[in-house]
A and B are shown apart, each in its own frame.
Chain A
Amino acid sequence: DAKTTQPPSMDCAEGRAANLPCNHSTISGNEYVYWYRQIHSQGPQYIIHGLKNNETNEMASLIITEDRKSSTLILPHATLRDTAVYYCIVRLGGANQGGKLIFGQGTELSVKP
């Protein structure tokens, strides 16, 4: 079973920040939080991941609470092309940790003009 809980859908105005929450209250100390997104009829695309510190890359920022039981993915300036299903997944990271991902239902983000 998936170890994460996300709202099923969210709307965001184009140009505004999109904040997507995720609960992972049973996360283990050595598990990372990963975010992927899936645009309709395509394979999932990696966005960002983190262990306990906040992370930022060219796509998004990841804010992880101090107790690591929840996190928020932030798309700072959402565009129409960011409309997709966003999946929050916890998994072991690093070399030799495998790649078995268990997907939850994700959040369907609709960016509106």
Chain B
Amino acid sequence: GAVVSQHPSRVICKSGTSVKIECRSLDFQATTMFWYRQFPKKSLMLMATSNEGSKATYEQGVEKDKFLINHASLTLSTLTVTSAHPEDSSFYICSAVTATGELFFGEGSRLTVL
């Protein structure tokens, strides 16, 4: 089946630094990808819709200047957490949609901000 890969799977950074997380569709092209965050013992919360070649659409309450999304190619979307703080520590998950509407999730990236 289709595979969506995230990198890095785990990252630890210092407060105030920026961290980039990649989401790749390995064997299909995805014009649309989605970014979620998940806190411990909680459900996934949709952050934004990433559209290839255009600006991302952010959900209400998500700061677009804090969470920069770039979808420069049909197989890659990146999420950059800018000026990270400990409260940004979370599990970030992406998903990608195939041309036939099938949806696949990445393995997730765990961010820890010290």
Chain A proximity mask over B90-107: 1 for CB below 8 Å, otherwise 0: 010101110111011111
Q: Is the CB of A44 within 8 A of B34?
A: no
Which residues of A sit under 8 angstroms from B44, Cβ to Cβ?
Answer: 38, 44, 101, 103
Given contact pairs A44-B44, A87-B43, A106-B43, A99 touches B108 in the complex (Cβ within 8 A)? no
Contact at A100–B34, with CB atoms within 8 Å?
A: yes
Check B108–A41 contact: CB distance below 8 A. Answer: yes
Which residues of B53-95 have CB atoms within 8 Å of chain A's CB atoms? 91, 93, 95
CB < 8 Å neighbour of A101 from B32, B34, B100, B101 = B34
Question: Is there contact, CB below 8 Å, between A43 and B46?
Answer: no
Summarize A's interface: helix, strand, loop or mixed.
loop
Cβ distance A83 to chain B, nearest Cβ, rounded Å: 15
The residues of A that contact B108 with a CB separation of less than 8 Å are: 41-43
Residue of A nearest to B36 (CB): A103
Among the stretches A50-58, A65-73, A89-97, the one at the interface with B is: A89-97
A25 CB–B CB distance under 8 Å: no
Contacts A41-B91, A42-B107, A101-B34 given; does A96 touch B43 at CB 8 Å:
no
Complex Cα distance A43/B36, Å?
A: 10
**Measuring CB to CB, which residues of chain A are less than 8 angstroms from any residue of chain B?**
36, 38, 41-46, 85, 87, 93-106
Residues of B within 8 A of A (CB): 4, 6, 32, 34, 36, 43-46, 49, 91, 93, 95-97, 99-101, 103-108, 110
